[in-house]
Amino acid sequence: KSSKDHENPAREDFNLRNKHLQKKIEKKEPDFLYHLGLVVSLNSQTVQVFRDIKYVCVGGTPSRMFEFAVVCLGALKIQVPAGMGVTDLCGGHARYVMYKAGPVLTVSHGMGNPSLSIMMHEILKLLHYARAERGVKFIRIGTCGGVGVPLGTTVITEKVYNGLFQPYFTQYILGKQVQRPAILDAGVSRDLMHYAAKSEMNIPVVSGNTLCANDFYEEQARIDGAFCEFNTDEQKDFLQKCYHAYGIRNFEMESLAFSAMCHLAGVKAAVVCVTLMNRLESDQVDPEVEAHLEEWQRRPQRIVAELIKQEMAND
Ligand code: R2B
């Protein structure tokens, strides 16, 4: 660290609690971020481009994250040099895609906590090697199943629960269960809610709790999977319990690992997802939703882009 870095608290390292990684860095050994397809080391040329990142926005699909990078370029009025498109910054054979729009990094994470967690390890290390600001905000934008809210509603998550209604992400490490608190940043969520609720946005939005499942079918109380060993009364009881006893307004599959890893790294995080169905009414996405899908999927993007635009204007 330079002495200047010590003066600026925002330049503190991420909480990467890994003494082995620290040794690797001290020995100036390169690190292969295999799933991003990048070989990096502290301050190396490859990582310099990530140094000014202030927002990391993640979402399931590559195309949505490309789209969001384009949305951010527009919101921040950033011109891409002529002839240069928005290009994927991941290397060959990568499992994810990653785009940069000024201070915003948009990254795909695939489906489920395990897929997201691999991306998070490598992105956190990448930002650490780049000496990016610890004040960076992580925001997940995605789709989900709503619970008791109209289709197309955007849910901004307050608390995240696992399938046992516990607010932590469980990992099995060296044959033991390790429970990591799944904590989001109330301030970022509140700011997102503020921008989302502006009348000109015209976006139905609620703040509520999220159940993060490790499966799309049985763990989300669907009866239309290849297997189902409960009846429809049990299904209804569970869904009612989610809504009334736990304030759950949506189901998705990544917010546990996302919030727990952000909390562990000491970065602020929020989750903004649009509902494609109401689980109190159906298990499947209605084919008629197809006509609205594009506009609905843009809703979390518009809210997050507005937050970024306003914050960057006040920076
Ligand atoms: C929402 O949509 C996907 C499942 O269809 C999953 O990634 C999620 O959380």
Give the contacts of 132 (CB within 8 A, at least 6 positions apart). Answer: 50, 51, 52, 53
In the reported structure, the alpha carbon of residue 12 is separated from the centroid of ligand 1 by a whole-number distance in angstroms of 34
Place of tokens 């307050």: 158
Tell me how far apart the alpha carbons of residues 94 and 100 are, in angstroms, rounded to a whole number.
16
Model pTM score: 0.95
In the reported structure, the alpha carbon of residue 253 is separated from the centroid of ligand 1 by a whole-number distance in angstroms of 6
Given a contact cutoff of 8 angstroms between Cβ atoms, the answer to whether 195 and 303 are in contact is: yes
Q: Is the CB of 254 under 6 A from ligand 1?
A: yes
Q: Which domain CATH number covers 61?
A: 3.40.50.1580
Query: Two tokens at 244?
Result: 């009334």
Residue closest by Cα to atom 7 of ligand 1: 111
Range of the domain at 9: 3-313
Three-state helix/strand/coil letters over 53-111: CCEEEEECCHHHHHHHHHHHHHHCCCCCCCCCCCCCCCCCCCCCCEEEECCEEEEECCC
Q: Is the CB of 300 under 6 A from ligand 1?
A: no
Give the contacts of 167 (CB within 8 A, at least 6 positions apart). Answer: 159, 160, 161, 181, 182, 183
Q: Is the CB of 252 under 6 A from ligand 1?
A: yes
- State yes or no: 61 annotated in a binding site: no
In tens digits, the chain (315 residues) has pLDDT values of 343 444 444 446 677 889 999 999 999 999 999 999 999 999 899 999 999 999 999 999 999 999 999 999 999 999 988 777 899 999 999 999 999 999 999 999 999 999 999 999 999 999 999 999 889 999 999 999 999 999 999 999 999 999 999 999 999 999 999 999 999 999 999 999 999 999 899 999 999 999 999 999 999 999 999 999 999 999 999 999 999 999 999 999 999 999 999 999 999 999 999 999 999 999 999 999 999 999 999 999 999 999 999 999 998
Q: Locate the ligand 1 atom nearest the alpha carbon of residue 251 and give its number.
A: 9
pLDDT at 4: 43
3-state SS, residue 34? coil
- State yes or no: 95 annotated in a binding site: yes
Tell me how far apart the alpha carbons of residues 303 and 310 are, in angstroms, rounded to a whole number.
11
H or E, element range at 150: none
pLDDT at 171: 97
* Count of domains forming the chain: 1
